[in-house]
Amino acid sequence: MSIAVLAIDGPSGAGKGTVSRAVAKRLGWNYLDSGSIYRSLAISVLDKQADLDDEDKMAEVAGTMNLSFDCGDELIVRLDGVDITHRLPTEETGATASKIAAYPKVRAVLLQKQKDFRQAPGLVADGRDMGTVVFTDAEIKVFLTASAEERAKRRFKQLKEKGIDANIEQITKEIQERDRRDSERKAAPLVAADDALYLDSSTLSIDEVINTVLALTEK
């Protein structure tokens, strides 16, 4: 019997992370935050001072990387047992991740690394191509989205709560531009799987979205 997978894809700011973690916690399933995979590898190669131009070395480090996710109120990402959550959003991490993500050998290793998270009793996989590329046979697929304006409001609120100055018009523009790039890229474009439930969270509370997704798993 295959191990059940709930794949939740969608654009940034739609609430994927919050919903995925809550559902994984309620179900007692494993959790994969695919967005952290390449950034975690970036931290690993930076710490090892590996040559970023050496594709084989990058793939080797990717293969030995031990990653785990803790679904508390906030996501905690551990690399080889060490909490690296605070290092994931940095510019250096992002720039390094972008460079090594272009290597086909690295992509192949990390694709398998993601598939390895499929362990009993089940897996909630959060990302952009979970249902279309990584877990095409997932029993349950959800494409969670929200309008660019609503996602910008949520992002603006988050930044304000952290005491960071922000411009909502600029945030909206950046979100729209990212959506365009993600949907037009050649490798794993951001699209809903044909068999995914399309769920727009623009007018829903987070609890309503969580309960909708949980109801799907019960079916």
For residue range 127-184, list pLDDT tens digits in order.
988 999 999 999 999 999 999 999 999 889 888 888 888 899 999 998 898 888 888 8
Two structure tokens written together for 71: 């679904």
Percent of the chain at pLDDT > 70 equals 99
For residue range 20-37, list pLDDT tens digits in order.
999 999 999 999 999 899
All domains in the chain, ordered by first residue: 4-218 (3.40.50.300)
Give the torsion sign (CA, 142, 123, 135, 181). Answer: positive
Cα–Cα distances in angstroms (integers) from residue 104 to residues 56, 58, 100, 101, 190, in the given order: 10, 11, 9, 8, 19
Asked whether the beta carbons of 152 and 11 are under 8 A apart, the reply is: no
Q: What is the mean predicted confidence (pLDDT) over 6-11? A: 94
